Amino acid sequence: MTRLGSIEAGGTKFVLAVADEQYQILASKRVPTTTPAETLAACAAFFAANPVDALGIGSFGPIGINPGTPEYGHVLKTPKAGWEGADIVGTLKAALNVPIAFTTDVNASAYGEYSVGAGKDAHSLVYFTIGTGIGGGAIQDGRFVGGRAHAEMGHAVVLPHPDDHFAGVCRFHGNRCFEGMASGPSIEARTGQPGETVPRTAPVFDYISYYAAQLAFNTYVNLAPEKIVFGGSVLSDAELPKVRQYFAELNNGYVDAGDLTTLICLSGVPNNGSATIGDFAMAKALL
């Protein structure tokens, strides 16, 4: 039986899993993100006890994703203390001696949605996560869209809502990028409450819907994907109609985007598990 491995490498924890070819979980474990040496040793021990034929890794970043470059497989300039320069792929390849696919956490989620989720019948998809941060990944015919580095879609320039005078939470861009204006921390900074405790009828979610619509509209006029999928903890079914409404207003009849209820949707993988499924699918593609 082919066994596939997944690592969701996050800033607070690494989620490890093993599955069969149908992505049914056979074993799993959560490892705290401490030092690179300690965390990667725990990963190696888990997969030594639960051997896999290939491993997919979706990592926090920034990371080096271009094979053949010195930075490939490494964490780059990250705010996560102690992790800058950590060689994730090299360390695990030396320990496990299996093929490894390595990309960003949001690219892994995009691949999961493309493989079995909301985009499983589409040739092209862009996935956004809106949570503690905002990130995006694009796929065309099974391949990630990117060049010399991975995309940073959450830091694209945003047009503030006319009634939203919030200064933003991004330390680089303030109120000039999506992450500064629509991420989970922006909700708490505006309201003084964690986002999950704020009623969905509060004005802040109208602002979030406006910014999500901008993400979707900018994506459509740039890439014209068949699916634009939102994941993460901030956006819910309650906001989708407003997102589509704002999208239509921004478009103003210019491009034919088809049925917006088909184009713009939420994650189709239960429990925000698209990154793990994407890791499995990337691992399977290596075999």
User: Domain coordinates of the chain in residue numbers?
Assistant: 4-105+272-285, 118-268
Superfamily in which the 118-268 domain is placed by CATH: ATPase, nucleotide binding domain (3.30.420.40)
Helix axes 203-223, 240-251, angle to 10 degrees: 50
**What pLDDT does 78 receive?**
85
Q: CA torsion sign, 66 to 70 to 72 to 77?
A: negative
Q: Could you read off the pLDDT of 272-281 as tens digits, one per residue?
A: 799 999 999 9
Read off the pTM: 0.94
Fold match between domain 4-105+272-285 and domain 118-268: yes
How would residue 241 be classed by pLDDT, with cut points 50, 70 and 90? very high
H and E: helices and strands count for the chain: 9, 10
Q: Report whether pLDDT(219) > 80.
A: yes
CA distance 107 to 137: 5
> What is the enclosing helix (H) or strand (E) of 162?
none
**What pLDDT does 244 receive?**
98
CA distance 180 to 167: 8
**What pLDDT does 270 receive?**
84
Q: Report whether pLDDT(100) > 80.
A: yes
Q: Report whether pLDDT(68) > 90.
A: no
CATH of 4-105+272-285, one of 3.40.30.10, 3.30.420.40, 3.30.9.10, 3.40.50.300: 3.30.420.40
CA distance 125 to 144: 10
